[in-house]
Structure 1
Amino acid sequence: MNDPAVIEFPSHRAVPRAAVIGAGLSGLICAERLIRQGWSVTVFDKGRGPGGRLSTRRADDLRFDHGAQYFTARDQRFRDRVDAWVHDGIVALWNGRIVRIGKTGSEGELSLEESPGERFVGMPGMNAPARALATVVEPQAGVRVASVVPDGRRWRLEDERGGDLGSYDMVAVAVPSPQAVPLLAEAPDLASRAADAVMAGCWTVMARFERRLDLGYDGAFVTGSPLSWIARDSSKPCRPDGEAWVLHASPEWSQRHIEDEQDTVIEALTAALRDLVGTAAAVPTEHLAAHRWRFSLPLHALDEECLFDPERGLGACGDWCNGARVEGAYLSGLALAERMIAAAQRSPA
């Protein structure tokens, strides 16, 4: 893997100590860059495993990518990393047929057009890149950071019960923007800018059918429906046998039904699938489950790679800073790490 070169700090400087809150891709790449720079870094995450929305759900022999479905690589910095992941067997191209479908006209005729492009997926699940990064970063799972408070010239982190999680020279907040706002309370200008990044929720249904759905494609962007995306997850490389599908509700539908029970959501979205594709979806299911992402898609992302106050040593990163894509999350975390490194190198001994 082509890791960035390590730039040594002058020997008379103490090794900077940083905390990263959140072990999604943005937080992980920020932490990894700092660690390879020689910093002491602690990563906290409230979840059970790394990845955030770069996530894979397991149930017995089933596996579903119920968060991010794939990613593209346009920026050369990210492309270099993706190429390294491909070389290491962590990522592969998804060669499924992807289309755009929707109902149009007064009689609801179904339109379909191709959606070509190069799309990558993790192997054996979308969380594979996050798991690889976690071997370097070693995040502390199941820890919810509740506050970031001044501690002299440093920052002290506290959990929900007021427990002390340590003091740090700098802190990177790598969580969805609504969760970042209270953690940035001691830097009101940053908190205000984070609040401008509006994020919508998303309901996801995971379904395994008894036999193959004869649709003629493996993924579709959907309009004119409660659904915004459907995908044959089992068409991705290195996936288990079986007919596994992921259904994503649209942001509008998800927000209207964000507090609904899972059974209600499953019934509504599977009905929307049948309405969309007709009898092709009239196949009995072997497994049905739903997952609610309260903060999934940035409806209004900021037009800057990250937020950082070099005087306070506090910043934030995520796809809500840099576009609603996996690549945006990666580049945002990398940008914040570089700004933290630059600030430390400018600081007096």
Structure 2
Amino acid sequence: MNPTPHLALVGAGIAGLSCATALQGAGLKVSLFDKSRGSGGRMSTRRGDDWQCDHGAQYFTARHPAFRAEVARWQQAGVAGVWDPRLWMFDGDSAQGRESTVERFVGMPAMTAPARYLASTLAVQAATNIEQLRQQAHGWQIFSAQQGWLETRFSAVLLAVPAPQAAALLQQAAPELAELAGGAVMRGCWALMLRFASPVDLPFDAAFVNHGPLRWIARNSSKPGRGGQETWLLHACAEWSEAHLEEDPESVAAALLAAFGQLGGPAPQDWTVHRWRYADTEPALHEGCVWRPDIALGLCGDWLNGGKVEGAWRSGQALAEQALRSFTRC
């Protein structure tokens, strides 16, 4: 009787968690590695003394039936809910309210909640930075900055990381896949989290901004399940973020606060800035996922499937399906 395949999956964002959950549910063994301290990737929340703020993905939609069913499962578990903000659009000199026809979901009580829910049943090794891969006669080996070469021989390696990180890992192991990943252009995003002693008197909870350095602003405290003091999130647009990617946080914060002030926003009691080095892909690819059965190596992630949380989750599912076909034929 053949032993149960043991797969290494690098990256514990939504794509990696989706893929690992499907593989484990089908009876395979999965070890999940992530360089961060926790799971979720850009479905992230920063916390401090009596405050929290989602500083990555702000909400997600669910259009495909499979993902709608998954979100319903999250809602049933109490880790996701509907967010119906008062939405505005700032376009040049005009500002107007918008009737939203999109159903927006958020994690509860923070954006990290669905990822933590998925990770709770998985073997996740956090704070583990995978730096090299090599294929041996009896499977794959992986090298981490913290532990060196792991002794385990894995039946397959799956990468659920941003395209530039995947490209670096694949240079020796699969140059043609490294070229694919290297062709995906990922852009950065500056995020500014604002804290206020009392609720901010603005007539909207979220707004798209089509001029200046900002692209999105949101009253984080308006999302369901949030507690603590009033917080707002400002996201800079990709073009501005890329042009100022290496600037010091104080300069970035000053520019974004000035733009917020021009939209009527008051000065905050305090602020925290975060730079997302790989926030989105322009344009995102539409491969869905990539699976090389001949060498048991695969890729998934939002950058391969149109971007966004739903794209990431579906990419992970697609890779799991393809990998499972290979191993069920063994």
| TM-score, normalised relative to structure 2 | 0.96
* Structure 1 residues 264-323: Cα deviation after superposition (integer angstroms, max 9, x where no partner): 111110111112x1xx323x4222000000000111211111011011100111000001
Cα gap change, 1:208 to 1:161, in 2 (>3 Å): closer
RMSD: 1.4
| Partner AA of 2:28 in structure 1 | W
Cα distance in 1, alignment partners of residues 282 and 147 from structure 2: 33
Instruction: Indicate the residue corresponding to 1:169 in structure 2.
Output: 155
SS of aligned partner of 2:140? strand
Aligned 8 A contact 1:197 1:301 in 2? yes
Aligned to 1:119: 104
Matched residue, 1:231: 218
* 1:191-230 paired onto structure 2 within 5 Å: 191-230=178-217
Q: Does structure 2 conserve the Cα–Cα contact (< 8 Å) formed by 1:45 and 1:144? A: yes
SS of the residue corresponding to residue 156 of structure 1 reads strand
- The 5 Å alignment of 1:53-92 reads 53-92=42-81
Shift of 1:198: 1.1
Does 2:261 correspond to 1:274? yes
Q: Which runs of 5+ in 1 are unaligned?
A: 1-11
- Structure 2 partner of 1:245: 232
| C-alpha distance in 2 between matches for 1:206 and 1:17 | 40
Q: Within 2, Cα distance between the matches of 1:91 and 1:113?
A: 24
**1:300 aligns to what SS in structure 2?**
coil
2:290 corresponds to: 307
Q: For the Cα contact (< 8 Å) 1:319–1:325, is it kept in 2? A: yes
Q: Which residue of 2 aligns with 1:8?
A: none
Residue identity opposite 1:180 in structure 2 = A
Alignment correspondent of 1:93? 82
Shift in Å, 1:34: 1.0
Q: State the distance in 2 between where 1:224 and 1:56 align.
A: 26
Task: Tell me the residue number matched to 1:9.
Answer: none
Structure 2 match to 1:5: none
| 1:31 counterpart = 2:20 | yes
Map 1:132-147 → 2, pairs under 5 A: 132-147=117-132
Unaligned runs of 5+ in 2: none
Distance 2:82 2:97 in 1: 23
Quick check: 1:208–1:288 contact (8 Å CA) kept in 2? Answer: yes
Q: Of 5, 28, 33, which aligns to 1:44? A: 33
Contact (CA 8 Å) 2:50, 2:229: kept in 1 or not? no
Amino acid at match of 1:325: K
TM-score scaled to structure 1, two decimals?
0.91
- In 2, Cα distance between equivalents of 1:90 and 1:161: 32
Correspondence 1:142-161 to 2 at 5 A: 142-160=127-145
CA distance in 2, matches of 1:310, 1:304: 16
Query: Is the 2:138–2:153 Cα contact (8 Å) retained in structure 1?
Result: no
The residue identity in structure 1 corresponding to 2:59 is Y
Distance 2:83 2:146 in 1: 44
Structure 1 residue 345, shift from structure 2 partner: 1.6
Post-superposition shift, 1:331?
0.3
In structure 1, C-alpha distance between the alignment counterparts of 2:240 and 2:105, rounded to whole Å: 27
Q: CA deviation at 1:145?
A: 0.2
Instruction: Measure how far apart 1:27 and its partner are.
Output: 0.5
